[in-house]
Amino acid sequence: MFPANFGYVAARSVEDALQLMAKHGEDGKLLAGGHSLIPAMKLRLQSPQTLIDLGTVPGLRGVSIDGNSLVIGALTVHADVASSELVRKHVPALAEAAAMIGDVQVRNRGTIGGSVAHADPAADLPVVLTSLNASFVAQSVSGKRAIGVDDFFTDFYTTALNANEILTEIRVPIPAAGTGTAYVKLPHPASGYVVVSAAAVITRQASGTCTASRIAIGGLGSGPIRAIATELGLQGKPLTTQTIAAAAAKAAEETDPVEDSYAGAEYKRDVATVYARKAIEAAVERAKN
């Protein structure tokens, strides 16, 4: 399979990329790792006339700390997120999710920014970043703005990014002491993409009571969904096996999963409750340390 003919230009800076986007308009498309865009071009689902490569732009790759946040450059590849000492220390769920993406080749080329901008409903990182209450910094010629994760994923393959914006960094609040994070997924046996996945962020007092929780589920909708009933079922409660199981049983409430040849809606809802429980239990264990 070959894509339609296209032009290519390597941007030298974010400002240069923004100018190139303005010049090419709807005919131009940003290129990061190319691991979603190029397959889409080969299938002729997308046929941009010019690719504007961000891979050569300095300063968009790496993980650092700014105040109470981890800052991850949009061009950071999945393998670097998975192996980052900062990510593994502060938000192990994110390292866990990045390590589960595709295969070695995909993890060495695909980027966190490309993954969230593409917003595939079967992607891993949107789910875990939802549980972590991440925000996304978008830059245009008018300046920068931050978009909270609950407003970012708006539909299938659609985000709150405007056509004239580049995602430059992802900011992840460093969880408070006594917080554990975890991510689990049921991968599709052929593609490895998410059938259903669950991410949990749980804050636990020394007494064993849950003081805060964010639970996100993947595979049930057009993007990650917050399992609000599950979150409420944990908050202020002792984190016992019974409380966790009862809360997790509500993880798929009021969802209408898309059926496919591999998994029906009822199956996905059932798996969501099981995987929510697994993620919460793993996060609670980490919160104890």
Task: Find the binding residues for ligand FAD in span 191-220 (CB under 6 A).
Answer: 192-193
Pick from 104, 108, 32: which is nearest to 73 by CA? 32
Report the residue from 73, 110, 121, 224 that binds ligand FAD according to the rule CB under 6 A. Answer: 110
Q: Which residue among 90, 118, 268, 277 contacts ligand FAD (CB under 6 A)? A: 118
Contact between 37 and ligand FAD by CB under 6 A: the answer reads yes
74 part of the interface to ligand FAD, by CB under 6 A: yes
Q: Which of residues 243-262 bind ligand FAD (CB under 6 A)?
A: none
Of 138 and 284, CB closest to ligand FAD? 138
Q: Is 62 in the site for ligand FAD (CB under 6 A)?
A: no
Residues of span 137-196 touching ligand FAD by CB under 6 A: 161, 166-167, 192-193
Give the residue, chosen from 31, 132, 182, 247, that forms a contact with ligand FAD under the rule CB under 6 A. Answer: 31
C-alpha closest to that of 30 among 70, 64, 60: 60
* Exposure on the CB side of residue 281, measured as CA atoms within 13 A: 14
- How many residues would you count in the chain? 289
Using alpha carbons, select from 217, 213, 235 the residue that is nearest to residue 226.
217
Cα–Cα dist 23/31, whole Å: 16
Q: Which of 133, 140, 164, 159 is nearest to 28 (CA)?
A: 164
Region near ligand FAD per CB under 6 A, out of 101-109, 140-148, 173-181, 264-272: 101-109
Nearer to ligand FAD, 113 or 224 (CB): 113
CA angle 194, 279, 110 (to 5 degrees): 40
The values of phi and psi at residue 99, to 5°, are -70, -20
In the complex, the residues that contact ligand FAD under the rule CB under 6 A are 29-37, 39, 54, 74, 101-102, 106, 110-111, 113-115, 117-118, 120, 123-125, 161, 166-167, 192-193
